[in-house]
Every structure is written in structure tokens, then in C-alpha cells.
Chain A
Amino acid sequence: MAVRVQREDFDLAAELKALTAGDHRIGGLASFVGLVRDMADLGAGAAAPVTAMTLEHYPGMTEKMLVRIEDEACRRWHLSASLIIHRYGRLEAGDQIVLVACAAPHRGDALDACHFLIDWLKTEAPFWKLEETPDGDGHWVDARDSDTAATAKWR
């Protein structure tokens, strides 16, 4: 079980390989990777181009909340290993933002825990996104009701 909040990118293949290395009780590994999209959803079907975003976090509280979220996943499902990596700082379209990975003896636990972690993280972990448009303007992304609803289904 591990949580990392970092500025630098991560090597997806290496992280997933390391997570299951040496544990042959693991039968399934589920992962989710969040990427910087090049379009911002403005609601009502409208969209605006995005060139980059800056992710801000609350050092200390962010790590604490991620550890708590991961502990909750371990209470609910039978996991052999889990990993959350979340980046901060300025990221460009196409860059990796977040990795959530769960390994378990059986796929159901791995898949459900992975889904739970990303849904929960989006509404509970203190990160904020500032999107940049091509003309250099920045605007803070609003929290979405759909994310709150996604978390609510796990309560």
C-alpha cells in the first residue's frame, strides 16, 4: 500500500510491474490512469481548448487523505497491493496526472477497489486544477456534480 504525491512523471509499466513483483497469490491487477485532456467541458455540450493545466495541492493534508482513502479500500476489498501516484505542478495536454492501481487474488476486488479509489479521490483529496487556454488565460476548474454522485454511490 503506497501513496506518492510528486511533480515528476511516472513510468506506468515499471510501476505496475513493481506492484505485483514476487507475489504469486495475485491473480488480477487493475489500473486507472488520468490524463490531461486538450478540451475543457464547459457544460451544456460546449467545450474550450486547453493547452496545459497546473495542479495545486495542500502538502500534508493531500497525502493524509490519500492514505485514508487507500486504507478504506483495503477495509472493503481483499487487496494484495495498491498504489496511488498523483502529480502536481504544470502539466501539458496528454500528460499523465494520476495512477491508481490495485492488485488482488481475484479480479472483482482489484477492479472494484480501483474504481472506488479514483471516484473517492476526485471528491476528497485536496487538489485543484487551473486550466490554461491557448490565449494564456487561466481558469479554475469547478467541481462537478457528476463526480460527487460517483463518490456517493460507494457510501
Chain B
Amino acid sequence: MENLSCGQVIALLSFYIDEKLNSNLMKNIEYHLNTCSFCRNKYMQLRKIYDNYADIKSRIEEDNDEYIVDDAIYRNQQYEFFKENLSAYIDNELKTEDNLRVKKAAIINPIARTELKNMLLFQQTLHMAFQKTKNNLKKDFSGGIICKIRDSLPKFNVNSDLSAWDKLINMLSNFLKSRGIFSNGK
């Protein structure tokens, strides 16, 4: 049997607790702990911390299991209906009775409630993004478009009081008159 120094044993303690060492080394450390009170105290302290940790860990896992069981209760037919119609619900596109069913689910069922909240938050974010995109347009095209269609319209006397369509009709009838197709009743 090899004699280990206290420093070596303390360095290997956490591996010893996890039983990650070969059997020979495990035996050597055990022997040392039986003979050295200093190292035994260190070992007891560390052991306690590990045990507490393991205890807390198992309790959290238990809680999670319970949570999953609770979760399953809410994933019922009502929830399925809610899920199917949530999108149309926020668009106000459901019939009155379906609207009420979705609203009821959102009140009773905590999972449904969270999903409704998330959906509304998502919608709000979309709308903010849309607003931002709209303001990305820094140019004004409207004047240019008007110029384009004005060019395609016949030219008129600007000072005249007649509206554009009246002018167009006048021009047309003048044109027809000049060709003798349309006479003004004379």
C-alpha cells in the first residue's frame, strides 16, 4: 500500500467522493482518511456539501415532475380549441360564441393565458417594426408621379377655371367638331 501525502489526498477528495478513481487509489485514500484526522475533517465537510447539493437537486427535479403533471391537466380539449382559434381571436374574426369560448379558456387556463400574452406582445413588436420600416422611406415620390401622369394628360390653359376633365371633354368635342363628326346642334 502506497502512502499518500495529505496534499495529494485533498487534491483527490472530490474525485474520491464521485468514485471516479481506480480501486487501488480509492483504497489508498480510504486508508489515509482512517489514519489522518485533518484529512478526515476535510472529507466530512466536503461530503456534507455534496450531500446537500444532491438533495436540493433531487427536490428541484421532483418539483419539475409535479409541474409537468399540472401542465398536462391544462392541455385539454378547451386548450386545443383555444390554440386553434387564438390567431382569429386577436383579429376579432370569430363568431360571438367562439369568441367567448376562447376568452373563457384564457381566464381559466394559465397556459392559455401566457400564450395570449405572448401573442399580444409579439403583435406589438410587429407593429413597432412596421412603423419603423415606414419611416425608412425618406424620399417623396408623390410629386414625381403627378408629373408623370400630368405629362400623359393633354396640355391645358392653366388659368382656366374648368376642371381637368371638363377641359378634356372640351378638347375632345372641339377635335370631333373640327373633323365634322360631332356638330353642336347647329
A complexed with B? no
- List B residues at the A interface (Cβ < 8 Å): none
